[in-house]
Structure 1
Amino acid sequence: MTPRTDAIDVRPVTEPEFADWTRALNTGFLREPTVPDDVLDARRSQFVPGRLLGAFDGGRCVATFRSFEQELTAVGGAPVPADAVSNVTVSPTHRRRGLLTRMMTRDLAAAKDRGDVVATLIAAEYPIYGRYGFGPATWAAEWTIDVPRTGLDPRWAGPEDGGRVDLVDGEDIRKLGPELHERLRRVQPGAVSRDELWWKLATGAVRFWASWNEPFYAVYRSAAGEVEGMVVYQADDNWGDGKQPLNTASVKWLTAVTPAAERALWRYLCSIDWITRVKTGWRAPDDLLPFFLPDPRAAAITTQADWLWVRILDVVRALEARTYEAPGSLVVEVSDRGGLTGGRYLLEASEDGTGSCTPTTRSADLALEVGELATLWLGDESAVRLAALGRIREERAGAARKADALLRTSRRPWCPDVF
C-alpha cells in the first residue's frame, strides 16, 4: 500500500518550529536528535524567513531543507548570484514519498524568481540530485603526506624567500581571513562567498556543536609583510611502541593566493616536531602540493570525489558571466525537465574572451540536459568525454571538440568550502 502524502504539509518553517526542524535535521544526519539550548540559540542565526522549508506530518517535522544567499565565482572571476542548498534530510520513516522533490521544486522556483543564476550544493550522495538538474561541476581530492618520505630537509626553520610563518589566534583569523579569501575568490572558478557567520564558526566564536576543539592557526606573510596565506589544523596524540611520535596533523582548511605562500605553509606543516603524517583536507584535484615535495610520491591521494554541484537557472546569464579560452560559436539544445531554463541557445565567444548568449532557431551543434551543461560550465569536464559516455549528443560532427576549445580551462575549478 502506497503511503499517503496529501496529509504531509511542505512549507516554510516558522521560528517557533525551529527546534523541531533542528531535531529532524539531526535525525536525518544520524546525529543526537536534541541539542542543548545554547547550541540551538546559536543555530538560530541561520534562520531566514522563507529560506528554511520543512515537511510536517501530524505536527512533527519529518524533512528539512535550507537555502541561503551565495556568490559563486565563474570562469574569469565574475561573481554569480547563487541559491546555496544545504541541510537536506528526510526522516527514515518518510522516505520515498516525494518530499525532497516538493521542497526542491519550491526552492528552485523561488530562486529563479529572485534572479539567481545558479543553485549550488555539496552532495552527500551522488545519485540524488541529477534528477533536479544539478551536475557535478568541481571535484576535490585529499592527500596524506608521509613526512619522513618527502625528502624535505629536517633542519628547515622558515621560508627562504624572506617571508615568515606566524602562529595566530582565532581573532586574528577573523580579521585577516575575509580579505584573503576574497583575493582567492576573485581568481578561483568554483569558489563561493563566506559571510561573517562562516568565520565565527570556523574560529569557535559561534558554536553549532556541544563540544569544540580549538585548532592551531598559522599565517604566511611575504617579505613585504603582506598576508598571503593561512592554515587551520589540528593534531592527534599518537606514540609508537618504541616511544616514537607518530602524530598526524589534519588540515581543516588552507588558503593561499601565491605559490610561495602555499609552498611555505605545506613546508611548515611537514616541519612540526612529532608530526609524521599530514592529512591535507579537501584540495583542488590538480593541487600543486605533491610537486612542492622532493619526492611527490610521499603525498598519496586517499580520497577523490565530486564536490560542488551546480544547477543552472538562467542559461543566458550563466554563459555570459564566464570567459572563454578561444573565439568561436556554438549552438546548444538544452533540455530541462524542471521547466526552468530549457531551450536552444547560440553562444558566441570573442577574441577578448567575453561571450554573448541568445535564444536561437539555428540548428543545434550539441544537445544536452541542463545538468550536463552545469558540468561543462565551470570548465572542468570535457564535452568529448561526455559524448563518449552518451551523456551529450553531437548534432554536428566535431561539435564536442569545438565545445572543449571554448569551455575548458587551463587549471581546474575548485570549491574550498563545504556547506
Structure 2
Amino acid sequence: MSADVRTVTESEFPGWIRALQTGFLRPPHIPDELVADRLAHADLARTQGAFDDRGRIVATFRSFRQEVSAVGGGGLAADAITQVTVAPTHRRQGLLSRMMAVDLAAAKERGDAVATLIAAEYPIYGRFGFGPASWSTVWSVDLRRTGLDPRRTGRPEDGGRIDLGDGAEIRAIGPDVHRRLAGLRAGITDRSPRMWEQGTGLGYQLDPWKEPFYAVYRSESGEVEGYVAYTADDRWDDTKQPGNTASVRDMVAATPAAERALWHYLCSLDWITTVRSGYRAPDDPLPLLLPDPRAARTVTHVDMLWVRVLDVAKVLETRTYPLADSLVLDVRDKDGLAGGRYRLDASPRGATCVRTTDSADLALDVADLGTLAFGDESAVRLARLGRVDELKAGAGTRADLLFRTSLRAFSPDIF
C-alpha cells in the first residue's frame, strides 16, 4: 500500500482530526466545536497527513513555533512536534519517517536551533536524532507520616504570604513568573496565550473542566514569586475520617522561598491526607522539606522533553558555562542536519562554537549531544554506556564540568 504525504487543506482538516482522534484512542466522532477550535490554532503549512489510495488520512503530524530555555536562561527557537499518529493499517511503511524528514528540513531552513517533542513511547524517536533532555518525577505524600507538626498552618514563616486566587489572576500574573522560572532552569517551554487560557478554563476544553483551587505566594515586599493550582477529591471513611487527596495541576515557583511556602501550604490543608505532586523536576525539594522524606513516595519517574539538535553552534553558544575550557566534538548525524566536527570554546563570559578540522576529544550521536547540552546527563555515564566515545583521556570528565548544571532540566508542560 502506498500513501501520499503532504500538508492538509482546510476542507481536509475534519478528516485529519478524525484520524488524530482514532490514533489517540479517543472517540472518532468529532463535534464541530472541536474542529473549529483546532483549525483556528493550527498552522496548516505545518500540518501534514498521509493519504491512502482512497483519499483517507491514515497518519497525522503537526508542528508549531516554540521557545525552550537553555542553561542560563537563554531562549532557543524550537520546532515543537505534536499530534503524531499512524493508523494500525499503515504501520511499518515509513510514513512517520517521511513526515519527520519534511518537518525537520523545514525547521532547519527556518533557522530553528532544535526540534522538541513529548514521546508517548520511548523507542520511537531516537532514530530521528532525538534524545531525552529532561525527566520528571511525581511524588505521593502521605501527610500522616511526614512528621510535620499537626498544629501547623499554611502561613509562610519567612514574612511572605499566601493568597487564594482565581483563573483570571493566574492569567495576569502567571506569564511573568513562568518567564522567571525559565531563567533558572533549562528545558522550560514557553506558554502561548491560548495555553494560559486553556490551563485556567477558558476556550474549548476537550475534557470536562474541573475548576481548581489557586494559591499565590507573595514575598514580604509583596512581589508575586509563585503560584499553585490544585484539585481535591471528597473521600471519607465509615468512621467519618477524611481521606482526601490534593493533586497539583500546575506549580510555578520562581524562588526557593515560593517553592517551600507552596509545598508547606499544600501539606497543611484541612481534610487532606495525601498530596500528589504532579510532574516535578527530579531534584524538586519536596521530599527533603519533610521531617520524614520517606513519606514522599515516588510513583512516577519518566523521560519528558526530547530534543533534536538542528544547529550545534546555536545550541552550545546560547547556554552558559561555569568555567573556561575548550572541547572538540565529533557529532554524528545520519540525516545530515547537524553532523560534523565542532570546536567549543567556553567560559563564564560566553562561548563560541565553530566547525573545525582539529582532532576530536569526544565523538557522539546528535541525540546524545541534545541530552548533554541541557545539562541533565553525564558524558562519563554515556561513555560507560558506549554512547559517547572518549577519544582523549579525561575528555568525559572535562565535558561534565562544562555541561552539568546545579539545577536539573525541567519541562512541566506536555504539548
Instruction: Map 1:3-18; keep pairs closer than 5 Å.
Output: 4-5=1-2, 8-18=3-13
Residues 55 and 63 in structure 1, CA contact (< 8 A), matched pair in contact too: yes
Shift of 1:47: 1.2
Alignment of 1:369 with 2:372, yes or no, is no
Q: Deviations over 1:192-239 (max 9, x none)?
A: 111100001101111231522211111111222211111111111222
RMSD (CA atoms): 1.2
Specify the code of the residue in structure 2 equivalent to 1:193.
D
Instruction: Provide the secondary structure at the position in 1 that maps to 2:323.
Output: coil
Specify the code of the residue in structure 1 equivalent to 2:37.
A
Shift of 1:153: 2.1
Instruction: Provide the secondary structure at the position in 2 that maps to 1:15.
Output: coil
Q: Which deviates further from its counterpart, 136-145 or 12-21?
A: 12-21
Instruction: Map 1:246-265; keep pairs closer than 5 Å.
Output: 246-265=243-262
Match of residue 351 from structure 2? 355
Match of residue 184 from structure 1? 181
Q: Which deviates further from its counterpart, 150-159 or 288-297?
A: 150-159
Q: Which of the residues 159, 163, 174 maps onto 1:162? A: 159
TM-score by length of 2: 0.97
Q: Which of the residues 275, 286, 290 maps onto 2:287? A: 290
Residues 36 and 210 in structure 1, CA contact (< 8 A), matched pair in contact too: no
Instruction: Provide the secondary structure at the position in 2 that maps to 1:148.
Output: coil
Residues 68 and 83 in structure 1, CA contact (< 8 A), matched pair in contact too: yes
Residues 325 and 353 in structure 1, CA contact (< 8 A), matched pair in contact too: no
Alignment partners' CA distance in 2, 1:384 and 1:162? 44
Residues 65 and 77 in structure 2, CA contact (< 8 A), matched pair in contact too: yes
Instruction: Provide the secondary structure at the position in 2 that maps to 1:182.
Output: helix
Residues 217 and 231 in structure 1, CA contact (< 8 A), matched pair in contact too: yes
Match of residue 272 from structure 1? 269
Alignment partners' CA distance in 1, 2:284 and 2:136? 9
Specify the code of the residue in structure 2 equivalent to 1:324.
Y
Specify the code of the residue in structure 2 equivalent to 1:385.
R
Q: Which of the residues 323, 326, 348 maps onto 2:323? A: 326
Q: Which of the residues 79, 97, 100 maps onto 1:101? A: 97
Shift of 1:178: 0.9
Match of residue 388 from structure 1? 384
Alignment partners' CA distance in 2, 1:279 and 1:212? 19
Alignment partners' CA distance in 1, 2:143 and 2:39? 42
Q: Which of the residues 165, 189, 194 maps onto 1:197? A: 194
Q: Which of the residues 22, 25, 30 maps onto 1:35? A: 30
Alignment partners' CA distance in 1, 2:214 and 2:311? 40
Alignment of 1:121 with 2:81, yes or no, is no
Alignment partners' CA distance in 1, 2:225 and 2:40? 30
Match of residue 304 from structure 1? 301
Residues 51 and 57 in structure 2, CA contact (< 8 A), matched pair in contact too: yes
Would the alpha carbon gap of residues 36 and 239 (structure 1) be closer, same or farther in structure 2, given more than 3 Å must change? same
Count of matched residue positions in the alignment of Structure 1 and Structure 2:
413
Alignment partners' CA distance in 1, 2:4 and 2:184? 43
Alignment partners' CA distance in 1, 2:68 and 2:338? 19
Specify the code of the residue in structure 2 equivalent to 1:40.
V
Residues 334 and 370 in structure 1, CA contact (< 8 A), matched pair in contact too: yes
Shift of 1:288: 0.9
Q: Which deviates further from its counterpart, 231-240 or 123-132?
A: 231-240
Instruction: Provide the secondary structure at the position in 1 that maps to 2:11.
Output: helix
Q: Deviations over 1:15-36 (max 9, x none)?
A: 2222111111111111111222
Which 5+ residue runs of structure 1 have no aligned equivalent? Answer: none
Residues 42 and 208 in structure 1, CA contact (< 8 A), matched pair in contact too: no
Q: Deviations over 1:88-143 (max 9, x none)?
A: 11111211111110111000000000000000111111100000000111111001
Residues 365 and 394 in structure 1, CA contact (< 8 A), matched pair in contact too: yes
Specify the code of the residue in structure 2 equivalent to 1:71.
E
Match of residue 130 from structure 2? 134
Alignment of 1:220 with 2:217, yes or no, is yes
Alignment partners' CA distance in 2, 1:336 and 1:17? 35
Q: Which deviates further from its counterpart, 43-52 or 166-175?
A: 43-52
Instruction: Provide the secondary structure at the position in 2 that maps to 1:311.
Output: strand
Alignment partners' CA distance in 1, 2:123 and 2:376? 20
Specify the code of the residue in structure 2 equivalent to 1:188.
R
Match of residue 74 from structure 1? 70
Alignment partners' CA distance in 1, 2:141 and 2:87? 39
Match of residue 405 from structure 1? 401
Which 5+ residue runs of structure 2 have no aligned equivalent? Answer: none
Instruction: Provide the secondary structure at the position in 1 that maps to 2:259.
Output: helix
Residues 14 and 49 in structure 1, CA contact (< 8 A), matched pair in contact too: yes
Q: Which of the residues 15, 23, 47 maps onto 1:20? A: 15
Alignment partners' CA distance in 2, 1:342 and 1:216? 48
Shift of 1:353: 4.4
Alignment partners' CA distance in 2, 1:267 and 1:43? 39
Q: Which runs of 4+ in 1 moved over 4 A?
A: none
Alignment partners' CA distance in 1, 2:392 and 2:304? 32
Residues 185 and 407 in structure 2, CA contact (< 8 A), matched pair in contact too: no
TM-score by length of 1: 0.96
Instruction: Provide the secondary structure at the position in 1 that maps to 2:367.
Output: helix
